[in-house]
Structure 1
Amino acid sequence: MRTRFGVDPQVITLALARMSESVGNSFLIVVLPLFIASDFVTGNTFGLTEVFVTGFVLSIFGFVNSPLQPFTGRLSDRTGRRKVLVLFGLVLIAAASFSYSLATTYWHLLGLRVLQGIAGAFIIPTTVALVNDLADEGNRGGNMGTYNTFRLIGFGVGPIAAGGVVAAGPYSLSLGATTLSMTGFDAAFYFAASTATLAFLLVLGLIRDPDVEPDDSDESVIEGIAVFDRTGTNLLDPVFALGVVSFFMAVGIALFATLGSIVNARLDQGPEMFGLQFAAFILAQILLQAPIGRATDYYGRKAFILVGTVLLVPTTLAQGLIPGVVLFEGVVSESWLMFIARFLQGVAGAMVFAPALALAGDVASEGQSGSTLSVLTMAFGFGVAVGPLLSGILITWGFVVPFAFGALLAAIGIVLVVTQVEEVNTPRRPVPFVGYVT
């Protein structure tokens, strides 16, 4: 059964579950720094600054879940049971989110963040593999785009609401003669746990494992990640090449995240404007992932990946050149120029990630979706974790340097897409300039 847009109803349900879980998980991006800065958390930092501890607690999620994703993806292939792994991950997410309300030291937070990273490793590759299993070559792009759209809506909504939930506390709830009270932080953590619980119920009640034969090969996880093209056609395996491009894209996107105070001072703006600029990328993704994914079902995947990678170069570099762009001087403020640059970078990202997942899904053999697609999700996760650390180092050489480095990575990505990535299925309406025969 398919909807009128060619999206499997189970993919819609899975997307809603990920949206719910993402709302709660992204809550923590705003809540945890506030919690660490509060009097509720104490302990020895071993000489590290509070800012460093905050950054480490937030980034450890990506560094834990990314290297584990190929293993959980492979496990889902070998067992043929993806649903139970997703449910297990959601239980861990809910338990960790609730347990933040009991945390009193920095190391409690670090341990819970590690637990959430492990949970993410069970959820991320297995849900993407489920989407791939439920789709086929004629609608895989639309299904991937729709799934990513809902997930990003959740990721975007969470931080917007989180600060308000904390600020509105403490809360009191009267139950007859008993009054329950909780801090704003407790309310935020309970809410995050409830969104994961809702996601658990959606998956438990409405998602089933597709009829896909388990992969019973003896190939290890490391052997399953092919770096070089085994057919001899190109130098690199196409999925590995797409993973590298996804990593480069994620690094370029995430460079902006840790530069809030510097950007605000440079553009003479407040934190609210920085929040809008940060969200501009997500807004573009929400608007364009589904239609672009659907378009790749007709025009092919490579055309969009190539155009998106090309667009990443100027949109990333432009962020490092503002102010100093005189083309729109007197017409658009420098702050809004940054917003536009971030939005266009989001357009580029939308043209790369969902089509890359769809193309990797086209390449994946039956029963190997988890292993194959985990290469891309792992690469993207590493990029998101590495980007902020790189920008913090490179900014010491000048404001433009991190963004110039991100643009250089995107330029290398263009070469990889042109030379190492090929269309697997013949597009219904091929785009002539891409050159499908490489």
Structure 2
Amino acid sequence: MLRSVLQSIRAAFTVDRRVFALAFARLADGIGNSFLIIVIPLYVASDVVGGRTFGLEEAMIIGIVLSLYGLLNSLFQPFTGRLSDSRGARKRFILLGLGGLATTNFLYLFAGSYLSLVVLRALQGVSIAFIVPTSVALVNELATAGDRGGNMGVYNTFRLVGFGAGPVAAGAVVAGGPYDLALGGSTVSVSGFEATFLIATLTALVSLAMVATLITDPEGTKRQAGGTPSVPFTDPRGDNVLNPVITLGIATLFMMIAISIFATLQNTVNARLDQASTWFGLQFSAFVIAQIFLQTPIGRASDRFGRRPFILWGMVILLPTTLVQGFVQTSLAMFAARLGQGVAGAMVFAPSLALAGDLAPEGESGTTLSVLTMAFGFGIALGPLISGFLVGIDFAIPFVFAAGLALVGAALVATQVEETLEENVSTPSAAE
């Protein structure tokens, strides 16, 4: 039944069935994990959690709990990506990460202290680090140069759908509690918090089951096991100063800083534009909306027309769409600017992963692509910190600073990245 449903939906995306299964698994996992972005701050602030605060304010504890996840996730990705290369195993690492995620989601049911929440969220960050670089590497190895962009686009689309849907559903689940569940002859009352933790656990288990039954490691990955993969900082071919993969990592970092500086400015933006919080939610989600609709077609277009033009023009578009946010005077104009950032992001991310995948030596996709996935995570973590610091000077300063980063990123792509498609183009592989 599950296979037939997946095959029907996959036909609309025309990708390898294993890529689609992996993307669908990340969608389910993304829904459950993004639940916690909304739920954990509410849980920390509830009367369920107590214990020692170590002299920290509640708001600081919430910040630590949320930021530890992204920080450890990003820090560990190069190590897990490289380890999966040297072991010649992708599936095993993904299953390990999903197992850790399911376990920690379930353990939230018993977490009643601030310290336990910090520990669990840190463990989740490490668990995700086992999933992200290895799953992207697997997508890369199941693709060819002729369909790599489309495969990356489909994978990212489904991942973002899960990430975007989770927070919306989480608020409704918490608000709708408690729930009475019939178990045998008795009724068990489950709070809204407990329901979200159980749903997050279930989605991680569904993802684990899908990967376990539908995914296999490519034979080439196993053959190349045992090496010592690395990504040199300078261009190994000697054509440019920087390694193109490192350049793409820097561009991705700058892009995500520019996009995520908006995250911590809700109160300031609402007051400046005299708008309700609903508008901020729409503006915040505009980036994800654009990504969902554009990742796949842009990824496929990069297979036909080349990677570099999309990446370069994406970074160019990022500059004005970021800068203008510091000066717009209406809610609709801010929404349009955020939507424009989403278009820029879609033009950069899938083609960047595809280009890095083109350059990755056989069996070293985990090490190579972890540069970009790590940069993505660090950008999300650094953006809010930068905006929180700079907005005290003037509202426009964070956006001016981020636009400057976009300019530097565009210059780096223009001078340090060359097209790969013309060298490696091949007929797109048929979906299995």
TM-score bracket, shorter-length normalisation: over 0.9
Where do 1:4-403 residues align within 5 Å?
A: 6-214=14-222, 215-216=224-225, 218-219=227-228, 224-323=230-329, 334-403=330-399
CA distance 1:241–1:345, change in 2 (3 Å): same
2:430 counterpart residue number: none
CA contact (8 A) 1:247 1:383 kept: yes
CA distance 1:236–1:164, change in 2 (3 Å): same
Task: Single out whichever of 263-272 and 374-383 deviates more from structure 2.
Answer: 263-272
Separation in 2, partners of 1:122, 1:307: 32
Separation in 1, partners of 2:12, 2:207: 25
CA contact (8 A) 1:364 1:372 kept: yes
Separation in 2, partners of 1:228, 1:200: 38
Residue segments in structure 2 that go unaligned for 5+ positions in a row: 1-6, 426-432
Residue aligned with 1:229, SS: coil
Separation in 1, partners of 2:424, 2:354: 15
Separation in 2, partners of 1:251, 1:5: 30
Residues 300-328 of structure 1: CA distance to partner in whole angstroms, max 9, x if unpaired? 000000010000001111111122xxxxx
1:6 CA displacement: 4.5
1:428 CA displacement: 10
TM-score normalised per structure 1: 0.92
Residues 331-374 of structure 1: CA distance to partner in whole angstroms, max 9, x if unpaired? xxx11111111111000000000100000000001111111000
Separation in 1, partners of 2:14, 2:363: 22
CA distance 1:291–1:230, change in 2 (3 Å): same
CA contact (8 A) 2:246 2:371 kept: yes
1:408 counterpart residue number: 404
CA contact (8 A) 2:322 2:341 kept: yes
1:379 CA displacement: 0.8
Task: Single out whichever of 39-48 and 288-297 deviates more from structure 2.
Answer: 39-48
Separation in 2, partners of 1:428, 1:105: 54
CA distance 1:230–1:350, change in 2 (3 Å): same
Residues 263-297 of structure 1: CA distance to partner in whole angstroms, max 9, x if unpaired? 11111112221111111000000000000000000
1:54 CA displacement: 1.1
User: One-letter code of the match for 1:342?
Assistant: R
CA contact (8 A) 1:250 1:380 kept: yes
The alignment yields a C-alpha RMSD, in angstroms, of: 1.6
Q: Give 4+ residue runs of structure 1 displaced > 4 Å after superposition.
A: 1-6
Residue segments in structure 1 that go unaligned for 5+ positions in a row: 324-333, 430-438
Separation in 1, partners of 2:168, 2:142: 32
Separation in 2, partners of 1:427, 1:276: 42
Q: Equivalent of 1:422, from 393, 418, 424? A: 418
CA distance 1:382–1:237, change in 2 (3 Å): same
CA contact (8 A) 2:358 2:424 kept: no
Residue aligned with 2:18, SS: helix
Separation in 2, partners of 1:183, 1:5: 39
CA contact (8 A) 2:88 2:225 kept: no
Separation in 1, partners of 2:54, 2:285: 34
Residues 353-412 of structure 1: CA distance to partner in whole angstroms, max 9, x if unpaired? 010000000000111111100010011111111111111111111111111111000000
CA contact (8 A) 1:244 1:413 kept: yes
Task: Single out whichever of 139-148 and 170-179 deviates more from structure 2.
Answer: 170-179
1:9 CA displacement: 1.2
Separation in 2, partners of 1:46, 1:213: 47
CA contact (8 A) 1:15 1:151 kept: yes
Residue aligned with 1:256, SS: coil
Residues 15-69 of structure 1: CA distance to partner in whole angstroms, max 9, x if unpaired? 0000000001100010011111110111232332222221221111111011111
CA contact (8 A) 1:15 1:146 kept: yes
CA contact (8 A) 1:3 1:9 kept: no
TM-score normalised per structure 2: 0.93
Separation in 2, partners of 1:4, 1:184: 36
1:327 counterpart residue number: none
